[in-house]
Amino acid sequence: MTERVVIVGGGTAGSVLANSLADEVAAEIDAGDVEVVLINDSEEHVYKPTWLYVPFGEKTPEDAKRPLNDLIDGRVELMIDRVSAVDTDAETVSFDGGRDDLAYDHLVLAMGAQVTPEKTPGLVEGGHHFYGPEATAALREALAEFTEGHLVMSVIGVPHMCPVAPLEFPLMADTWLRERGLREDVEITYTYPINRAHGIESVAEWVGPLMEARDITVETFFNPERVDPDDTVVHTVEGRELSYDLLVSIPPHDGSDVVRDAGLGDDGWVDVDPATLEATAAENVYALGDIADLPTSKAGSAAHYAATSLADRLSSVVRGERPTAEYDGKTVCFIESGEDEATYIAFDYEEEPTPKPPSTLIHWSKLGYNQSYWLTARGVL
């Protein structure tokens, strides 16, 4: 009998898993013992970190996309459709488009995170963000027209995709504005919800002095509850008000109603064992990448490393062997710090990161990795 592995989501997590698994169990697939199905709601794979560079004219939204068909191993069955429901008792997934339900032996949920700016009143009308092709293109236009006033980068949603993006944007904007001779006419403020500049303590300690040196004001304990787009004011839960001329936010994020409806996680993120990535509420269900409720950041590297661990586990499972591979929370994030420099952090469930001094070499390494990412998606790198 054929063991069917169904992967929902063709982002970094789903693609790396599909390709790694197809490679590991190639012989079993060829023999008809194992089937790997990757379901995605679009024919394109999107590398989301590209969007950060669009407002500064360094990339275009098109640069973030490649056809999934070109990236996915030929042994994987690619299905373009949107999963509307998961039944963990019947072990099936259902589709929006009327396609017959698909049975699974092993299900991996990797649908990523969604941004929900509409959850903060006034934010859609009053603010910009860079989490999406249209949004980041609109921000590019707004930034191009922005010559003076108050630029506010406000972190509203935690957790969010890419833990360091909210630090990178104001640091890159600072350099971008300096290069255009506009910096003296622009005030930059960065806001964060808790009592320091970042959730990871060592990153907060590193970035605080850097922000100060770049003349970026840091406001902490700042939790916007609504935006007044007419008066261009952000109002917070703490009763504070902040006027802006250009508001860029990290919007609230959400998981998936499919997860909630399936009873796999009340908040839309899948509750999982952090090491095995197995869902806590159902057998033979796993979650990877941003949709998994893991005690690490929602980062592409976390998705990548977790996917390779899960490929090892699943290849053991489908062969009837005892799985031993575990994910240790490994995450690596480059951090663009402006002035054509960058640093990086590496951490796992146990170890806090220590940011290194930024350098031009690391900046170019990040730009280089953005190209070689396509090898990661193929499961090569």
Residues that bind another protein (CB under 8 A): 158-159, 193-195, 199, 201, 221, 223, 225, 237-239, 295-296
Q: Shortest gap between Cβ of 274 and another protein (angstroms)?
A: 9
- In our burial notation (b when 16+ CB lie closer than 10 A, e otherwise), range 64-84 reads bbbebeebbbebbbbbebebe
Q: Shortest gap between Cβ of 105 and another protein (angstroms)?
A: 28
Q: Shortest gap between Cβ of 306 and another protein (angstroms)?
A: 16
Phi, psi of 344 (to 5 degrees): -150, 160
The pairing of strands 106-109 and 285-287 is parallel
Q: Nearer to another protein by C-beta: 146 or 222?
A: 222
Q: Nearer to another protein by C-beta: 189 or 370?
A: 189
Q: Give every CB contact of residue 259 below 8 A, 6+ residues apart in sequence.
A: 109, 111, 265, 268, 269, 270, 291
Q: Shortest gap between Cβ of 69 and another protein (angstroms)?
A: 38
Q: Nearer to another protein by C-beta: 233 or 367?
A: 233
Name 243's bridge partners: 233
Q: Shortest gap between Cβ of 89 and another protein (angstroms)?
A: 24
Residue type, 42: S
Q: Nearer to another protein by C-beta: 148 or 201?
A: 201
Considering only CA atoms, which of 370, 259, 331 is closest in space to residue 13? 331
Q: Are 289 and 161 in contact (CB under 8 A)?
A: no
Q: Shortest gap between Cβ of 119 and another protein (angstroms)?
A: 9
Residue owning tokens 């939204």: 61
Q: Nearer to another protein by C-beta: 257 or 352?
A: 352
Considering only CA atoms, which of 298, 291, 290, 300 is closest in space to residue 373? 300
Q: Nearer to another protein by C-beta: 199 or 323?
A: 199
Q: Nearer to another protein by C-beta: 236 or 315?
A: 236
Residue owning tokens 């909630």: 260
Residue owning tokens 């919800």: 193
Residue owning tokens 């053991």: 316
Name the 3-class secondary structure at 92: strand
Q: Are 308 and 290 in contact (CB under 8 A)?
A: no
Name the 3-class secondary structure at 267: coil
Q: Shortest gap between Cβ of 195 and another protein (angstroms)?
A: 5
Q: What is the torsional sign of CA 18, 27, 70, 365?
A: positive
Sheet holding 92-95, edge to edge: 83-87, 92-95, 102-103
Q: Shortest gap between Cβ of 144 and another protein (angstroms)?
A: 33
Residue owning tokens 């890159």: 172
Q: How many CB atoms lie within 10 A of CB 324?
A: 8
Q: Shortest gap between Cβ of 231 and another protein (angstroms)?
A: 20
Q: Shortest gap between Cβ of 225 and another protein (angstroms)?
A: 5
Q: Nearer to another protein by C-beta: 50 or 223?
A: 223
CA dist 197 → 68, 129, 297 (Å): 37, 19, 16
Q: Nearer to another protein by C-beta: 295 or 320?
A: 295
Q: Nearer to another protein by C-beta: 56 or 190?
A: 190
